[in-house]
Structure 1
Amino acid sequence: MNASGRPARYGPTLRLRLTAVATALLATGLILSGALVYLTLDRTLSLEVDRALADRARVVIASITVNASPDGLSIQLPDVDAIAAGGAVVQVTGFDGTIVRSASLGRVTLEVSRGAQAAAQRGQVFFETVTVEQVQLRVHAAPLVWRGDTLGVLLVARPLGPTELVLGGLQIVLIGVGGIVLIVCAILAWVVARGALRPIDDLAREAGSIGADQDFNRRLSDHVSESAAEVGRLATTFNAMLDRLQDSFAAVQRANSRLEAMLQSQRRFVADASHELRTPLTTIRGNAHLMARGAGVTEEDTREMVTQISSEADRMSRLVTDLLTLARADAGLPIVRQPVMLRPLLESVGFQARTLAAGRLTVSVVPYTGDGDLMVEGDPDALRQLVLALADNAIKYTPDGGSVSLALRSVTHGTPRGSADRSMPPIQRPDQRQAPPTVTAQISVIDTGVGIGSDDLPHVFERFYRADRARHTTGSGLGLAIARWIADAHEGTLAVESSLNAGSMFTVSLPATVVAGVVDNDDDVTSDDRTD
């Protein structure tokens, strides 16, 4: 099938074309060589006939007797028929009209052409081919000279039949032998072309089978790849193309899998978001209707309904805020960086987490025991949102009486981040100072909650994902996805260690710098947070 979907129309096969070209070249060579042989033999035989006629003419001239009488000169040819032996005929035509000829001519008279007569008068010989009574004759005309006077023209002729018979036989031999050779060579060319092109046929057949089966794991067999150099290179190139197709096909399959997983996550999100939005909307609509009706509603009921409306509106606001944050992540908007001190930030988040826990579990901040403070370059609001999301997640899934702790520690690396070989010390020039060690700040949120199953653990950072056992709790499944994005935006990592009924530990690792003393962050991190 071609690109338009119609059956492909192929021209003559390459095997047939090669055979036709080889046969045409051979036929041209045979024709040229046969023509050369034929023309050479024709020329050779013609020269031989002319030489024989010239020899006989000299013999005849040497034997001619001329007698003088009162009536004039008479020409006598002694034993002319003996001289004309071997198929040659002799005739002497005098300028006075006298004709003496051999008996083999009978009553036939050879005409002296104007060319022969003129050549004789000039004392020159002349050759020509004439037809007498449907017989071709080769004629040699020579002047007959006696005592310095030209008496007439001597004609010595010979039939060309034997020569034409030889040339005709040669022509038959050339055509017959040439035809046989041409047929044999055409068959041999077909066989050779078939053998030479068999690897291409095998390649086409195997490639068609691979395409029909869509099995990109297959490769052309070794006997095709190890064929002639050109076919071998073609097979190698085809196998390399299959490798690229396989990689592309695998990439498409991975993309389809990711797309399917994303669609599944979106479907789950639509269900969760519908549930999350339906509940506050139902509450707000019901309370609004009661307040609008007014009958039998006390002042205390009104305050309670207003409180519920405000609480549900806050839930909707948080959901919308989470969606806007993810939209910002998808748009690739950069974060605004500034120095952020992690110890006061962690204490502020711990205070807010204790408020979220509402006394049903213990929230503690493990004191930082390192020298000075850890500072990162980042967005303080985004970093606080990151740690608070982890703390809020821990509180949600920790039963009453459990505990949640927040810890900060530093990890110092002996080799600066990004060096090529960490097993060898870097080469330092005399004019270079030793680079300071790289420090990584790690914030850990540890809980004694229900933990995460091994099946759900690889998906906890996916958007809209919520484990089945977590669907009874509030939330949209966006908090951990947002936390992962914030960590990535700060060139950090977010990891989790957990098992069912054994609690969880989320660890954020960020590139940091150790600073002496304690420098507070903005007031919205250190003081205003405590009023949330």
Structure 2
Amino acid sequence: MSRFAPQTLRGRLVAILLAVAAVGLLTLAAVTYASQRSFLQDRIDQQARDGLPAIGRELDEDLGLDPRSARFPYGRGFRRPGEGPPPASLPPGTYGARVTTTGEVLAAGISSYRGESDAPSLELPDDLQAGQLRTVSIADEPYRIAVDLSRSDANLNVIAVPLAEMNSTLSRLLLVEGIVIVAVLGVLGGIAFLVVRIGLRPLDEMAATADEIRAGDLSRRVEPADDATEVGRLGLALNTMLGGIETAFAGQRQSEERLRQFVADASHELRTPLASIRGYAELFRMGAAQSEADTSTAMRRIEEEARRMGVLVEDLLALARLDETRAVVREPVDVGDLAADAVEDAKATAPDREIRLHVAADDDPIVSADPDQLRQVLANLLRNALVHTPAGTAIEVHAGSAQGPGGRVALSVRDHGPGLPVDDPSTLFERFWRAGGGGRKQGPAGAGLGLAIVAGIVDAHGGTVRAENADGGGARFVVELPAYAEQTVVLRNL
């Protein structure tokens, strides 16, 4: 691009407008000039044709071909003074001549406003012919020549009308047109600059807002933002985009914060069993465990801490798999059968507990789900109930259709223990949350990932999970999933 070309949108718009206006004005000026020139030349041609008969009579008199005697020329139009108006309105300086076919000038004269004058010698073209109408240069001045055949002899009558007045008029017209064009373009350029500047002011404001957003203030929005103008619609689109960007950055910050917290919590959880294992191993290596009982205790504690680390790693892997985008496994699953298997497994783990299963005989709680993940949901909920209630506390498991519209299946695990340890039950499903007087604290309750895994699996299946204090005491955890028939319709529509 040329370095002289306008670089800004405002400059380009004004330049384009001025260019279009200049082309229009120049075209109008050219048409006006050509029309005026044609009009003036036609008028001169008509004057020349109308003046030829009068010039012919005057030249006849001068050559003695007429009874009247006259000196040539008198007044305007080759007339004697006092003989009335001239037969043709010829401009001052019009030449008249009688010329032979060989180019010899027999008589000549020039009209003027001063009365008599001597006709200068003419340097007429040699190729004059009767009926000609042409423009020639005589004595370095342009003339319009008309030629006809004299009726008195076989010679030619020639009239040469000066074009100086016409050229002067056309020159003045060009000057006026140039001044008008320059003035109009100047005024139009000023008005266009102001109008474009006012019209593009919202874009300048948007640019200023964009600079602030680039500096880090993602909450800013551009103005105007409406459907009334093109700039307003651009503002709406930009604000929508900015809203999405702000949401994405906020989500990214939250994800990064959760990741940092997750890594910190995981490191903390892994550090404790690793410290225990290292401590007992050092005791054994240093010979501090001299008796067989001490050695057995050290080995038992190492095994327990290693098992605890294994559970923690498995839970971390389960959460990592939930965060991944994996192929969805869905098949019809009878929640009642899964609940029965989970209850039997829990009874084998805690034979001293009373664990009851309630499934309506006429109910058919079937969902479309990954059966392995639903087994993990039931296992985590039952393990949570066993760990956080006193020994001998009864546990109830219910499976069946959820109350209310929507075609959903409900699965609940209720204990008869002390109830929920927090006022906000949603915090129980955060990662690494554990009971212990205020959040993530070390203790025998585990790593605090079981309920987070439950929430992740249920959410991946399009369901909901909630915790509440049950009537009559204890805590209840309720999972609701879309029933199989409804789930099938949803998948078919995707």
TM-score, normalized by the shorter chain, greater than 0.5? yes
Which residue of the other structure, out of 429, 445, 454, is the alignment partner of 2:414?
445
Cα distance per residue 1:412-458 (max 9 Å; x no partner): 567673xxxxxxxxxxxxxxxxxxxx6x2423132424733246x43
SS in 2 for 1:174: helix
Q: Which residue of 2 aligns with 1:218?
A: 221
Higher relative contact order (CA 8 A, sep 6+): 1
Q: 2:455: which partner in 1?
A: 484
Measured in 2, the distance between the counterparts of 1:29 and 1:49 equals: 30
Q: TM-score, normalised by structure 2?
A: 0.72
Measure how far apart 1:257 and its partner are. 1.5
In the TM superposition, residue 144 of structure 1 has moved relative to its aligned partner by 5.5
Equivalent residues in 2 for 1:260-409 (5 A)? 260-283=257-280, 285-286=281-282, 288-289=284-285, 293=287, 297-331=290-324, 332=326, 341-342=337-338, 344-352=340-348, 354=350, 363-366=353-356, 368=358, 370-371=360-361, 383-398=374-389, 403-409=393-399
Question: In the TM superposition, what is the alpha-carbon distance from 1:211 to its structure 2 partner?
Answer: 0.9
Matched, 1:458 2:426: yes
Q: How many residues matched?
A: 444
Q: Which residue of 2 aligns with 1:471?
A: 441
| 8 Å Cα contact 2:420-2:475 kept in structure 1 | yes
Q: CA deviation at 1:90?
A: 5.9
Give how far 1:26 is off: 0.8
CA distance in 1, matches of 2:144, 2:451: 117
Shift of 1:329: 3.5
Unaligned segments of structure 2, at least 5 residues: 1-5, 80-85, 87-92, 111-115, 485-494
- Say whether the 8 Å CA contact 2:98–2:108 is kept in structure 1: yes
Task: List alignment gaps of at least 5 residues for structure 1.
Answer: 1-7, 67-74, 227-231, 418-437, 514-532
CA distance in structure 2 between the partners assigned to 1:26 and 1:367 by the alignment: 95
**Cα shift readout 1:386-409 (whole Å, capped 9, x = no counterpart):** 3342233334434x5783523324
Q: Which residue of 2 aligns with 1:115?
A: 127
Hey, what's the Cα distance between the residues in 1 that align with 2:340 and 2:95? 141
Other-structure match for 1:31: 30
Report the 3-state secondary structure (helix = DSSP H, G, I; strand = E; otherwise coil) of the residue aligned with 1:341. Answer: helix
Contact 1:341 1:373 in 2 (8 A): no
Note the C-alpha offset of 1:197.
2.1
Amino acid at match of 1:252: F
CA contact (8 A) 1:341 1:374 kept: no
1:263 counterpart SS class: helix
1:498 Cα deviation after fit: 5.1
Q: TM-score, normalised by structure 1?
A: 0.68
Q: Distance in 2 between matches of 1:133 and 1:336?
A: 109
Give CA-to-partner distance per residue, 1:126-160, whole Å, 9 cap, x none: 567777766777666555566xxx5x635555562
- CA distance in 2: counterparts of 1:414 and 1:133, whole angstroms: 115
Q: Match of 1:463, SS?
A: coil
Instruction: Report the AA paired with residue 248 of structure 1.
Output: I
Shift of 1:238: 2.9
Quote the offset at 1:13 in angstroms.
4.0
Partner SS state of residue 72, structure 2: helix
Q: Rg larger in 1 or in 2?
A: 1
Query: Which stretch shows the higher mean deviation, 175-184 or 87-96?
Result: 87-96
Aligned with 1:115: secondary structure? coil
Query: Structure 1 residue aligned with 2:242, among 240, 245, 253?
Result: 245
**Kindly, what percent of the aligned residue pairs are identical?**
21
Q: Which residue in 2 is equivalent to 1:44?
A: 43
Match of 2:185 in 1: 186
Give yes or no for contact 1:63–1:77 (8 Å, CA) kept in 2: no
